[in-house]
Amino acid sequence: MKPDAILLRLGELTLKGRNRHRFEQQVLSQIQRVLKPYAAITYKRAFGRMYIDLNDEPFEPIAAKLKNVFGIHSFSPVYTCTCELQSIQEKAVAIMLACIDRPTRFKVDAKRADKEFPYDSLQLRYHVGGYVLQHVDLLSVDLHHPERILTVEVREDRTYLFVETIEGLRGFPAGSNGKAVVMLSGGIDSPVAAWMSLRQGLRIEAIHFHSYPYTSKQAQDKVISLGNQLTEYVRELNLHMIDFTEIQLYLKQNGQENLLVTLMRRAMMRIAERIVRETNSGAIVTGESLGQVASQTLPGITASSENIQVPILRPVMMMDKQEIIDLARRIGTFDISIQPYEDCCTLFVPKSPATNPNLKVLRAIERQLIDLDRLIEKAVQTKEVLTLPRRVEENFSELL
């Protein structure tokens, strides 16, 4: 049975008070963008909700698009009819016959937005529920623990009926809460952190550190593929590719081996802070998760971010590794992340990296690294910026 419309629930967007209209308009713009190929559909807004009239456009591909739009709490395929009791009853029976294939407990919820309708909500439940029960043999009434809930909403122009609720991504529309720079590695954690940032309404720029020729072209293409996957949820994404080779070799030659990872992370953070300011962003986002690797102990994280003057957001910090993996599978980045191509963070890693780095020692070493500031400036000035989505084979041939 083909639905006539889709009911969208905007969830926490409705909690924004006087800003509610702006947030609703932003999520509507996102929806209109992803549904642009379906020219016949039309839109209508009500408080905290939105209706899409399909006008014979196909439901399934449209639903697949809506599942990737931030700001949608849930949505339902909706069937419509006139505001006459007989019409409502017959439509309710047709819906239940289409979705029931075994004995099922159900109830009817009814709302009467049109106060001119001659039956109140309680009477409407009684008349619709009783009629459905008489005409659908597999149904029984259960008001407390129903398996199916048939919702009937009588409005001024027509009546809406639905039984299915599909979960959305929730969150906020892209850009509604500002902009941030995500440090995107080729691993599992940072793409998940990027996605979580998008869900909270951050518009993101991504930054990736590579060490060609010590890291391969495939490693760089892998990160671009991760960025492309993230653009399933936003219009486009700028990916800043930073050549980290000289800095990495310089630190390897002049730093203490057990502090190399921390020294690299400090340099990366300084570069990321520069990109934040260049792009008028408000924060750095990382995929750090407490205790997962040697550099992600609490002292290691503190040492890596010392002196950074912009906020650092760590969305997956307290998540269990399996939780991160499960989310990576859900958003489509896991299979890309586990491709066996190394990134610069796996190079020159000492056998025993410091888990409790001494800040005084780190500062003393950096005072002796007289070329570090110059190399950081060079890395920022020579970065390559790719606008995604983009085919992998186009990405780095010009850089190699």
Q: Residue 24: its pLDDT value, please?
A: 84
State yes or no: pLDDT of 20 exceeds 60.
yes
Mean local confidence (pLDDT), 112-124: 93
State yes or no: pLDDT of 347 exceeds 70.
no
Structure tokens at 389: 């989505």
Q: Residue 16: its pLDDT value, please?
A: 58
Polymer length in residues for the chain: 400
Q: Each residue of 348-363: pLDDT tens digit?
A: 666 777 888 999 999 9
Q: Each residue of 60-77: pLDDT tens digit?
A: 999 999 999 999 999 999
Over pLDDT 90: what percentage of the chain? 76
Residue 138, CA distances (Å) to 101, 104, 106, 127, 141 in order: 8, 6, 10, 18, 10
DSSP string, 339-395: SS---GGGTT--SS--SS--HHHHHHHHHH-TTHHHHHHHHHHT-EEEEES--GGGT
Residue 254 or residue 312, greater confidence? 312
- Is the overall model pTM greater than 0.75, yes or no? yes
State yes or no: pLDDT of 15 exceeds 60.
no
Q: Residue 36: its pLDDT value, please?
A: 94
Cα 313 from Cα 169, distance rounded (Å): 20
Cα 61 from Cα 9, distance rounded (Å): 19
Q: φ and ψ at 90, to 5 degrees? A: -65, -40
Q: Residue 170: its pLDDT value, please?
A: 92
| pLDDT grade for 274, boundaries at 50, 70 and 90 | very high
Q: Each residue of 168-223: pLDDT tens digit?
A: 999 988 888 999 999 999 999 999 999 999 999 999 999 999 988 877 888 899 99
Closest residue by Cα to residue 93 from 128, 142, 138: 128
What is the dihedral sign for C-alpha 72, 76, 82, 85? negative
